[in-house]
């Protein structure tokens, strides 16, 4: 119980640190002219967001980095406060956050078309490279290569097959959260709920250090939402969405309960599936009937409901309710 109390306290501390420096950070972004650029296809409904400071993922990254490293320094002096294993998701957070920051910077200040970041192929290759490095560290460094199945009391050793599966989970989740980041507060609240769920799962497994990291992430995400609540003063950009998605997948892999990740992260999964179905429907209809026939009004999925008359706040709150229920179901499955 003391370990749980400590993890919750650290999460609260992270929240306070992040909120305190949030205001000055937003002012710095404004002075640097790092403002949101909206894609042409959604400018009709999101034109008011143009110019709002972006790269807000840094608001999450820096406090998490400071608190996590601080706990590890304390471990050298006092022992048993935290562990080296949480340096793996921290490294993932920094790597994908750096990649996202580069993409955001190029989209705002780069020489390419305004609103477009680094080339998609280069961005994807960097994601895959980071995923490969993470999978190898998990497999060889932490000796993690198993899969837990709800209802079965033992884990299945996947051997080398674990590496491509882990890579797919990392790249897929990072892009899924990136697609979810389209409305004020949506990606932040969904990922905070997912990290809380995996924090509970890690607690059930006795992974004290991972519990601490999860609730540090929850505290930082909640603090970001303080400034990202509608109408947003700050957007996380790819700096935050890519980092949060990849880090969430890493935490899921470290618990062995990655099979329930699509349930806990049901909203990002639904957003991704909507895009895949939309693209497929357009391609197929063009070949069969010579015209575009779409399943959704617009994708990702939150835009479909937006054009259907739901307000931005309604979509975020309803998606969050679904996300919370999915997290509860995920934790229940982990208990089986």
pLDDT digits 0-9 by tens, 180-218: 998 999 999 999 999 999 999 999 998 988 999 999 999
Distance of alpha carbon 93 from alpha carbon 190, whole angstroms:
17
DSSP-based three-state secondary structure for 146: strand
Contact (CB, 8 A) for 171 and 120: no
DSSP letters of 214-279?
HHHHHHHHHHHHHHHSSSPS---HHHHHHHHHHHHHHHHHHHT-GGGHHHHTHHHHHHHHHHHHHH
What is the C-alpha separation between 8 and 136, in angstroms, rounded?
31
Handedness of CA 162, 164, 169, 171 (dihedral sign): positive
Structure tokens at 294: 């779409």
Per-residue pLDDT, 46? 54
Between the CA of residue 293 and those of 44, 112, 122, 168, 296, what are the distances in Å?
21, 31, 31, 30, 9
Strand partners, 166: none
Judged by phi (left if over 0) then psi (alpha if -120 to 50, else beta), residue 159 lies in left
Residue pair 59/15 in contact (Cβ under 8 Å)? The answer is no
In contact, 26 and 226? CB cutoff 8 Å: no
If you search the block for the tokens 């110019």, which residue do you land on? 51
- Are the beta carbons of 6 and 209 closer than 8 angstroms? no
**Distance separating alpha carbons of residues 221 and 147, to the nearest angstrom:** 28
Are 246 and 130 a contacting pair, CB within 8 Å?
A: yes
Cα(124)–Cα(17) distance, integer angstroms: 33
Distance of CA 297 to the CA centre of its chain: 25
pLDDT of residue 3: 78
- For residue 81, the model assigns a pLDDT of 46
Q: Report the pLDDT value the prediction gives residue 115, as an integer from 0 to 100.
A: 56
Q: How many CB atoms are located within 10 Å of the residue 65 CB?
A: 16
Structure tokens at 136: 């190898």
CB 83 within 8 A of CB 209: yes
Stretches in the chain below the pLDDT threshold 70: 35-49, 74-85, 109-116
Q: Which residue has the tokens 């750096």?
A: 98
Question: 237's torsion region: left (phi>0), alpha (psi -120 to 50) or beta?
Answer: left
Closest CA to 131 of 238, 247, 4: 247
Q: Please give the pLDDT value at position 112.
A: 54
- The first and second tokens of residue 182, run together, are 């389209």
**Predicted pLDDT at 290:** 78
- Using DSSP's 3-state secondary structure scheme, residue 153 falls into coil
Cut 0.85: pTM above it: yes
């Amino acid at each position: 119980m003391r370990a749980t109390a400590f993890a919750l306290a650290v999460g609260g501390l992270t929240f306070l640190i992040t909120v305190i420096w949030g205001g000055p950070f937003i002012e710095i972004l404004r002075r640097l002219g790092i403002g949101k650029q909206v894609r042409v296809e959604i400018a009709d409904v999101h034109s008011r967001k143009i110019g709002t400071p972006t790269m807000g993922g840094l608001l999450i990254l820096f406090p998490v980095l400071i608190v996590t490293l601080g706990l590890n320094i304390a471990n050298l002096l006092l022992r048993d406060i935290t562990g080296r294993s949480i340096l793996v998701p921290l490294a993932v957070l920094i790597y994908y956050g750096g990649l996202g920051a580069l993409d955001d910077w190029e989209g705002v200040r780069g020489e390419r078309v305004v609103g477009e970041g680094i080339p998609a192929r280069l961005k994807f290759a960097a994601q895959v490279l980071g995923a490969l490095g993470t999978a190898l560290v998990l497999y060889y460094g932490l000796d993690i290569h198993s899969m837990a199945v709800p209802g079965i009391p033992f884990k299945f050793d996947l051997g080398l097959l674990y590496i491509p599966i882990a890579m797919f989970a990392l790249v897929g989740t990072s892009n899924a959260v990136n697609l979810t980041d389209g409305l004020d507060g949506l990606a932040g609240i969904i990922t905070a709920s997912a990290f809380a769920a995996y924090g509970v799962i890690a607690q059930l497994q006795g992974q004290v250090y991972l519990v601490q990291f999860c609730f540090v992430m929850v505290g930082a995400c909640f603090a970001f939402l303080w400034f990202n609540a509608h109408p947003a003063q700050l957007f996380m950009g790819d700096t935050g969405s890519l980092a949060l998605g990849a880090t969430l997948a890493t935490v899921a892999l470290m618990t062995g309960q990655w099979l329930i990740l699509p349930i806990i992260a049901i909203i990002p999964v639904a957003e991704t599936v909507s895009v895949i179905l939309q693209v497929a429907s357009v391609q197929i209809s063009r070949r069969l009937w010579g015209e575009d026939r779409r399943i959704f009004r617009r994708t990702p999925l939150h835009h479909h409901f937006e054009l259907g008359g739901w307000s931005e706040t309604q979509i975020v709150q309803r998606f969050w309710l679904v996300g919370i229920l999915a997290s509860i179901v995920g934790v229940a499955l982990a208990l089986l």
